Structures are given as structure tokens and as C-alpha cells.
């Protein structure tokens, strides 16, 4: 089953979240071949959880901390997120890596904590423009995947991976479907190398300037196991069109 996930980033108040979900649930058409996920900001998780509780739409968080509790001002733990009904957490998004300085070691701890708590992580990987221009795409992606999953190779069938080229996020210039497929195949082969028993069990999503006008082109390719949608998911009608783009 493919996964279509909305990452709202730092957008929408509680009231705006209520308005969005009301509108989205009016237009959303459930289907057995896709799973739909919404990841609001932390402040909107409670109201989103309440409104989505009787719908097939899943709830996720945009980040987490790896400790269960403690003196970690400003952080949010996985038990807190589980209590709100979050079944997914985005981990290692490029904005967390490059704006907030999250290291591969920290991301590895977060993935491990998600697995321990039974919350499915969506691990984000992807290269910057200078990496792409230097021909380092595969090397950067391999390093990020291997370090994030170090010591967790037996559990790669319990995660999803989102390939999000940094140069395509929010720029309006997505990777071509062919470029995305080549990296997805590379990640698939890498996962097979890490754990041959898990072959084909990890969904690999594409993210980076996905919109209603190009979603169908990405979803034509069986190597692409879903989409992680940013700015185009902020409008409920736009996101509904993407969900229906199969």
C-alpha cells in the first residue's frame, strides 16, 4: 500500500487546522491501495487527533526526541506523541539537518526510539545542490541511510524512507521522475544489502515540489512507494487531488 503524507511544517494554527480537516474530509475519497497521513505542527496534534479519530486518515508528527522524559526543554517525546494517536514520525528532514544542525548520530537515535515505541519513522534523506553538481548524490544518500540505520538493520522493514533532494524542496523545481526512480532503485539495493530478508518491505517515498500537476507522473513508477508533500499539502483541495492522483 502506497503512502501519501502531508508535511505542513510550521504552518497552521489550531483554528486553521480545524478548517482544513473539515474541508479535506469532505473531499477525501478513501481507497484500499493508499494510506493517507497528515503531519501538523505539534500545537495542532490534539485537535487533529480528535477530528481524524473516526476517519481512515492517519496522524503523524514532524519530529521527536529520543528520550522518553527528562530535562529537555522544548522537546517532545514519543510517549507524548503516541498518546495523541500519532502512528508516524518524520525523522531527519533536511530542514532539521541543515537549519537545526541535526547529526546522523542524533537521527539514528531518533529512528531507534521510534522503533522501540512502535511508531513508524519516515526517514528523510537527500542531497544538496552542490552534492548533485559534484556527482555525489548516491554517496550522500548512502551515507545518510547507513548511518541512520546503523545497528537497526534487522528492522528496516518497519520504517519508510523519503528521498527528498534538498535542491527540490520548496523550489518549484522537482526532480524528474526518472531521476527519482534511479535514486529509489539505489536505496532499494542498499536496503537489500543491509538486510536481504527485508527486500521490498520498505516503502520509499519521493518528496520535493510535489503538486497536483506532477504527482501522477511520479506515481506511475512502481519504484516510488508514495509521496511526502510539503507546500502543496497546505491547501486541502490540492492535497486531495494529489491523494487521488494514482
Q: Which domains does the chain have, with CATH numbers?
A: 2-243 (3.20.20.70)
In tens digits, the chain (246 residues) has pLDDT values of 999 999 999 999 999 999 999 999 999 988 899 999 999 999 999 999 999 999 999 999 999 999 999 999 999 999 999 999 999 999 999 999 999 999 999 999 999 999 999 999 999 999 999 999 999 999 999 999 999 999 999 999 999 999 999 998 878 878 899 999 999 999 999 999 999 988 788 999 999 999 999 999 999 999 999 999 999 999 999 999 999 987
Sequence-distant (6+) residues with CB within 8 A of 105 are 147
SS3 call for 11:
coil
Q: What is the pLDDT at residue 175?
A: 87
Alpha helices in the chain (DSSP H): 14-27, 45-52, 78-83, 94-98, 104-117, 129-133, 137-148, 177-194, 212-219, 236-243
Instruction: Indicate if 164 belongs to the active site.
Output: yes
Dist CA 149 CA 126 (whole Å): 15
Sequence-distant (6+) residues with CB within 8 A of 81 are 45, 61, 64, 89, 119
Q: What is the pLDDT at residue 124?
A: 98
Dist CA 206 CA 197 (whole Å): 23
**Catalytic-labelled residue, pool 35, 127, 164, 184:** 164
SS3 call for 36:
strand
Please report, for residues 85, 125, 142, 161, 184, the alpha-carbon distance to residue 137 in angstroms, rounded to integers and kept in the order given.
36, 10, 9, 16, 12
Instruction: Indicate if 93 belongs to the active site.
Output: yes
Q: What is the pLDDT at residue 246?
A: 72
Q: What is the pLDDT at residue 101?
A: 98
The β-bridge partners of 37 are: 5, 58
Q: What is the pLDDT at residue 142?
A: 98
Half-sphere exposure of 84 (CA within 13 A, CB side): 24
**Catalytic-labelled residue, pool 93, 95, 102, 127:** 93
Given the DSSP bridges, would you call strands 2-7 and 34-39 parallel, antiparallel or unpaired? parallel
Amino acid at each position: 500500500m502506497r503512502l501519501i503524507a502531508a508535511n505542513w511544517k510550521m504552518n497552521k494554527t489550531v483554528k486553521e487546522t480545524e478548517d482544513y480537516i473539515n474541508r479535506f474530509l469532505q473531499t477525501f475519497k478513501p481507497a484500499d491501495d493508499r494510506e493517507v497521513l497528515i503531519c501538523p505542527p505539534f500545537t495542532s496534534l490534539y485537535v487533529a487527533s480528535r477530528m481524524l479519530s473516526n476517519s481512515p486518515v492517519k496522524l503523524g508528527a514532524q519530529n521527536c526526541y529520543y528520550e522518553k522524559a527528562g530535562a529537555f526543554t522544548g522537546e517532545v517525546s514519543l510517549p507524548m506523541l503516541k498518546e495523541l494517536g500519532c502512528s508516524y514520525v518524520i525523522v531527519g528532514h533536511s530542514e532539521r539537518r541543515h537549519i537545526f544542525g541535526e547529526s546522523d548520530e542524533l537521527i539514528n537515535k531518533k529512528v531507534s526510539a521510534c522503533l522501540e515505541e512502535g511508531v513508524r519513522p519516515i526517514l528523510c534523506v537527500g542531497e544538496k545542490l552542490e552534492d548533485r553538481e559534484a556527482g555525489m548524490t548516491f554517496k550522500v544518500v548512502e551515507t545518510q541511510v547507513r548511518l541512520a540505520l546503523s545497528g537497526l538493520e534487522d528492522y528496516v522493514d518497519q520504517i519508510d524512507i523519503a528521498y527528498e533532494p534538498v535542491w527540490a524542496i520548496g523550489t518549484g523545481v522537482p526532480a524528474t521522475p526518472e531521476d527519482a526512480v534511479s535514486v529509489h532503485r539505489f536505496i532499494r539495493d542498499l536496503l537489500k544489502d543491509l538486510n536481504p530478508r527485508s527486500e521490498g518491505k520498505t516503502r520509499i517515498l519521493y518528496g520535493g515540489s510535489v503538486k497536483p500537476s506532477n504527482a501522477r507522473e511520479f506515481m506511475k513508477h512502481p519504484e516510488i512507494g508514495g509521496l511526502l508533500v510539503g507546500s502543496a499539502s497546505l491547501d486541502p483541495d490540492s492535497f486531495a487531488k494529489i491523494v487521488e492522483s494514482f
